[in-house]
Structures are given as C-alpha cells and as structure tokens.
Structure 1
Amino acid sequence: MALEVKERKSDAERITDDERRGKTKMGTLKAIAMVKSQKLRNSLKRRRRSSGSLLAIKDIRDEQEQIAVDEFRQILISENLLPAKHDDYHILLRFLKARKFDIEKTKHMWAEMLQWRKEFGADTIEEDFDYTEIDEVKKYYPHGSHGVDKEGRPIYIERLGKVEPNKLMHVTTMERYLRYHVLEFERSLNRKFPACSVASKKHINSTTTILDVAGLGLKNLSKTARELLLQIHKIDADNYPETLHRMFIINAGPGFRLLWNSIKGFLDPKTTSKISVLGNKYQSKLLEVIDASQLPDFLGGDCSCPNEGGCLHSDKGPWNDPVIMQAVMDGEVQNARHIVTISAGNEVVDNSRCRKCKESDLSTAESGSDVEDVLSPQGSCVYHRPTLTPVREEVLIAL
C-alpha cells in the first residue's frame, strides 16, 4: 500500500514537472517572440530615422488651383459637406478638374459622392468586406496591380482578351465584384498612392493602366460583361475622378482600331490624349515609361513573380514595404509633404517651408515629368516653373 502511494506521488510529481517544463518552454517562446517583435520595431524605427529623405515628399501645386481649391473648400465647410476624412487638397482638386473648375457642378458631384459612399459603405469597406473568391475570379478575369512606372505611379493591368464572363459569374456575383472593385480603389487611395508617394518622394495620386486586348471578341463582351463594365465606369467616373494618368491599349488589331475610332469621337480630346492604342509591337513604348524589372514578362518585361503564382497575383509594389507602410499607417505621410507653389512668374517658391526643405535635403528628391529637377546654387527651395499637366476628364472605356 505504501509503495502504491509512493508511486502515485511520483506520478504526480512527474506531471507537475512536465507542466512546469511546458510552462517554462511556453514562457521562453513568448519571450523570444516579444524580443523579435521589439527588434523588428526598433529596426523599422532605425531605418526610418537613418533615411531622413524617406519621408520627404515634394508636393508641387499651382497657385491658381490652390485658390480654386480654397474657395471650394470654404463653400463645402459652410454647407457642412466636408467630412474630415475627405478634407484633402488633392481630393478636392481631382473633383474640380473633373468638372473643369465649375464650382456649382463640382459641389453637386461632391454631394452625390458623399451620399453614394454612405449608401455603399465605402468608408468602412476595407474592414467590412472580404473577397474570398479572388483567386478564382482572376482565372476568368486576369487583372492586378504590378509594380510602378518610372515616375513612381502604380501600374494596373487587365488582360481583356482572356476574360470569360460566363465562368466569372459562376464564381462570384456582379454585386460582389463591384464591392471588390470599390475595395481595391479604397486600398489605392489609402495605401498604394501614399506608399508610392513615399517611395518616389513626390505626390502620387494616379495610375498607369495597361489593357491587353489580344483575342478580344464578342465572346468576351456578353450582356453581363457589358453591364458590369458600365457599372464600373459609372462608379469610377462619379466617385474616383482624375485617377488615371495614362493608358496603353495593346495588341489592338484592325477590328479594335475600327471600334476605337468610332468611340473616341465621343470623348473629350484631352481624355483621348491619355490613351495610346498600340498593336503587337508595343514593348518599346511600354519600356519608355516602365522599367523592365517592373513589367511582367508576358508584356515584354523581365518580371515573372514565380513565387507568387505569377505577376497578376503578386501585387508587387512599395505598398508591401513594411517601413513605408508603417509610415503610411501612422499618418506620417501628410506631415512629410513639402508644399511648393507655382507662382505666376517663372519660379517656384515655398516661403513657409524653405528651411524645412533644406533640412530634409529635398534637393536630392527624384525628378519626374511633373517638375524639372533644378536647384538654385544657394540650396533654397526655388525651382524653375515646370510644364503644367492640362486638366483632363477621367475615362474608363467600356470595351
């Protein structure tokens, strides 16, 4: 009997020892995880501190446009039409450009946008909506963001000739696809454009789009497909204007060119100036504005993204850099803007930020098509006047 009690005690002691060792091991793993997490946070902080120019975003603005934006902003405030989320210079400017700076027309467009966002749930769609069928959808509608052009803008690609609308509607619904489309636009506004602005050191709020129409025919343009494209076009034109910088339509055969010639007659000439319709010898044109490392191999570039299942599945871009995204999520991008105003003369002077520009070494910011990269010998924030981008209407073609 005594032996049995002793054995039971030994078993209990062994169980206690095992539990103790398990807890110790778990505690050690937690401690290791906490240390690694802290090391990562410290590493991110060090990288951000050591790259003072990382958060130096050159934001060039036209003086007359600033006056128009300020006037429009005051009107919206007086009529309680300016939620804090949308109180942003560049958002207001995009809507003004879409209505050619007609204040009344812009205000009407703005009010309808706010109402649509409320009804659609656009402000919370990133938290509320999960598009679980995305991998299946991309089989029948190949598309995606991939890399940036030479000016730092995100590249968006669609292979319209490979769209299978009937199969697409078997794996999703039109309503869910439209919600997914809005979700991606919100991600571009809230994440991709700010990340590209940090990476390129200048304000970015538009995309370069490539539409591959190789093989496009009536089979791709069913009634359902046309309806979906029309609804996408309306959402974009009404609520996300002036977010297209340029568009390349590639592999356009004689049939498409005939269709395009009939379509472009109904478009604003300033809109059509954004669009280049190219045949099957398009690679050199794309490589003029996109580095080969950022262009998928099926479009003549060097990238294939084999570890991500192909370029259209990779979502490659600066929005995947943890340092950049930490700055974006912390709201540091707005404070990193160094506003440079284009005056009526031949020079650009930022009176309020010159000292800050010099301290951040904005003189090393990369040049782009929006501004000539020239500096005064004294190192002040004075630049020669760049050529202004003309005001253009947004376009998304319902092919």
Structure 2
Amino acid sequence: MEKNQETALTQMRNSIQKLGSSTEMHGDPTLMRFLIARSMDPVKAAKMFVQWQQWRAAFVPSGSISESEVPDELEPRKIYLQGLSKDGYPVMIVKACKHYPSKDQLQFKKFVVHLLDKTIASSFKGREIGNEKLIGILDLQQISYKNIDARGLITGFQFLQAYYPERLARCFILDMPQFFVSVWRMVSRFLEKATVEKIVIVTNEDEKRDFIKEIGEEALPEQYGGRAKLVAIQDFILTPSEN
C-alpha cells in the first residue's frame, strides 16, 4: 500500500472516531472503498462510512434481509445469480421484462439490499475481505411500457452509490429499445460520474463480443452467448463457508 493511502486511512479512522463511531469490525479494504468513492478525502469518506453504518444498523438490524421479507419481489423470478466472471466477480442478471413497478417501496428497497448482499456474499470463501465487486447485467429484451420503472432503477443505483461504494465493477445494459432511451437519460442524471463510467450499453456485435469476453462463457447463460444455465437468485445456494 502506498504511503499516501496509509496516511489517508489513518486520517479517516481518526475522523470516524471523532464522529463517535468505530472501524473495529472493518479492515483497510472496506475503508479504501469509501476513500475511493470520496476522491481520497478522509473527512468526506469518514462521514460516508458513518452514515453507512447508521443506515445499516437501522435498515438491516439483523445483518441480512431474508427471503421471507421480500416475497412479492422474488415471486416473478426476475433476478439471476450466475457464479463468477473471468475476473472473479459475481454476475447478477436483471430481466426487466419480468419486473413491474412495486406498490410496496419498502419491500422493494429491502429486495435491493437482499440481492446485493447475496450477490456479494457469493463471491468470497470464508471471510469477507471488503473489496469484493460485482457485475450487473440489465437485460431489456422484450420489455414493454408496463415494465418501465425509472424510480426503481434510480433507487437501485443510489443504494449502490451510497451504501455499496466501489462494489460495482461493471454494469452492462442489453437490448435497449428506442423508447427506453429517454428514460435512461433521465435516470442517468441521478448517477455519479464514477457510476456512469462503469455502465456499458451494448449496441453492436463488437461490443457484444467484448461483453462475452469480459464475463466469460462459463458464467454467462446460453442466451447471452455463454454456456451456463440461468439460475434464479432464490435457487442459488450459498455454501456455509460463504455466509
């Protein structure tokens, strides 16, 4: 680790203590994510970290969101967890044609936490290091106007930005129809520059080849050019060593 990173981490820990919180349960890799998200500013990173701790304690008091808390969101089987990419990132797929705007926003927010936590947990053996990332695939094939949920998309990305900083390695958007372009422009206004830079809208054969290459055929389902089968997130079993 570079000296300036060590200095920033020390300053961040001191700032967190001054804010009345602790880093006892979290190692350098976790703290570095918050520093990177706040351009290596220890004071801003400390504030973000403490806000995350407070949110986590209030919103996920038991440490996780169980399937029984999000039945309506799981029922359509619209989220898939595909194992690890070539670079070791868990691959999560969202089939937008199976999604409809939620009437229960609290359950939807809990669902976002459930799927992000489970996706991240699928990437490590034993203990979490703290710097694990994920790859998201937003499949817009066969969507209709009834599936459009700008609010839901914004919520998902804002949760990633605020509470899962530097967890997103890449997000691929597939088969974006023309009528969705204006929706995406609107959603993009709510995204930080660093998030936008990780999003790839796949529009041609060259980009599709790069997409397949980056993820790898082992994890990618057959319908996307890989060799795997789709696995709904509720059917993906975390082994005891991954919990």
TM-score by length of 1: 0.52
- What is the CA–CA distance in structure 1 between the aligned matches of 2:200 and 2:34, rounded to whole Å? 24
Kindly provide the amino acid, as one letter, of the partner of residue 315 in structure 1.
F
Q: Which residue of 2 aligns with 1:315?
A: 236
Q: Does 1:195 align with 2:120?
A: no
* 1:273-284 pair list within 5 angstroms: 273-279=197-203, 281=205, 283-284=208-209
Structure 2 residue matching 1:252: 3-state secondary structure: coil
Q: Which residue of 2 aligns with 1:344?
A: none
Kindly provide the amino acid, as one letter, of the partner of residue 116 in structure 2.
F
Deviation at 1:204, TM superposition (A): 5.1
More helix by percentage: 1
Q: Which residue of 2 aligns with 1:144?
A: 80
Q: Which residue of 1 aligns with 2:46?
A: 107
Deviation at 1:98, TM superposition (A): 1.6
Question: Do 1:196 and 1:204's aligned partners in 2 also have CA atoms closer than 8 Å?
Answer: no
Structure with bigger gyration radius? 1
- What is the CA–CA distance in structure 1 between the aligned matches of 2:6 and 2:224, rounded to whole Å? 39
Q: Which residue of 2 aligns with 1:215?
A: 142
- What is the CA–CA distance in structure 2 between the aligned matches of 1:117 and 1:244, rounded to whole Å? 19
Q: Which residue of 1 aligns with 2:10?
A: 70
Q: Which residue of 2 aligns with 1:287?
A: 212
Structure 1 residue matching 2:15: 3-state secondary structure: helix
Kindly provide the amino acid, as one letter, of the partner of residue 166 in structure 2.
E
46, 65, 68: which one aligns with 1:132: 68
- What is the CA–CA distance in structure 1 between the aligned matches of 2:152 and 2:192, rounded to whole Å? 23
Question: Do 2:158 and 2:191's aligned partners in 1 also have CA atoms closer than 8 Å?
Answer: no
Structure 2 residue matching 1:293: 3-state secondary structure: coil
Structure 2 residue matching 1:124: 3-state secondary structure: coil
Q: Which residue of 2 aligns with 1:243?
A: 167
- What is the CA–CA distance in structure 2 between the aligned matches of 1:196 and 1:152, rounded to whole Å? 15
Structure 2 residue matching 1:157: 3-state secondary structure: strand
Question: Do 1:248 and 1:275's aligned partners in 2 also have CA atoms closer than 8 Å?
Answer: yes
Deviation at 1:74, TM superposition (A): 2.7
TM-score by length of 2: 0.80
Structure 2 residue matching 1:150: 3-state secondary structure: coil
Q: Which residue of 2 aligns with 1:162?
A: 98
Q: Which residue of 1 aligns with 2:105?
A: 174
* 1:38-49 pair list within 5 angstroms: none
Query: Structure 2, unaligned stretches of length 5 or more?
Result: none
Structure 2 residue matching 1:210: 3-state secondary structure: strand
- What is the CA–CA distance in structure 1 between the aligned matches of 2:190 and 2:117, rounded to whole Å? 29
Question: Do 1:152 and 1:204's aligned partners in 2 also have CA atoms closer than 8 Å?
Answer: no
Query: Structure 1, unaligned stretches of length 5 or more?
Result: 1-60, 305-309, 330-399
* CA deviation profile, 1:247-292 (whole Å, cap 9, x unmatched): 1111123333455456657755543331111137464222211221
Question: Do 2:137 and 2:174's aligned partners in 1 also have CA atoms closer than 8 Å?
Answer: yes
* CA deviation profile, 1:206-235 (whole Å, cap 9, x unmatched): 1111111123343112xxx44444443433
* 1:387-398 pair list within 5 angstroms: none
- What is the CA–CA distance in structure 2 between the aligned matches of 1:210 and 1:297, rounded to whole Å? 14
Kindly provide the amino acid, as one letter, of the partner of residue 67 in structure 2.
Y
Question: Do 1:154 and 1:196's aligned partners in 2 also have CA atoms closer than 8 Å?
Answer: no
Question: For the structure 1 residues 192 and 70, does the alpha-carbon distance in structure 2 shift closer, same or farther, using more than 3 Å as the test?
Answer: farther
Identity of aligned residues (%): 21
120, 133, 139: which one aligns with 1:206: 133
- What is the CA–CA distance in structure 2 between the aligned matches of 1:279 and 1:296, rounded to whole Å? 19
Structure 1 residue matching 2:122: 3-state secondary structure: helix
Question: For the structure 1 residues 262 and 118, does the alpha-carbon distance in structure 2 shift closer, same or farther, using more than 3 Å as the test?
Answer: closer
Q: Which residue of 2 aligns with 1:365?
A: none
* 1:11-22 pair list within 5 angstroms: none
Question: Do 1:252 and 1:280's aligned partners in 2 also have CA atoms closer than 8 Å?
Answer: no
Question: Do 1:194 and 1:204's aligned partners in 2 also have CA atoms closer than 8 Å?
Answer: no
Structure 1 residue matching 2:92: 3-state secondary structure: strand
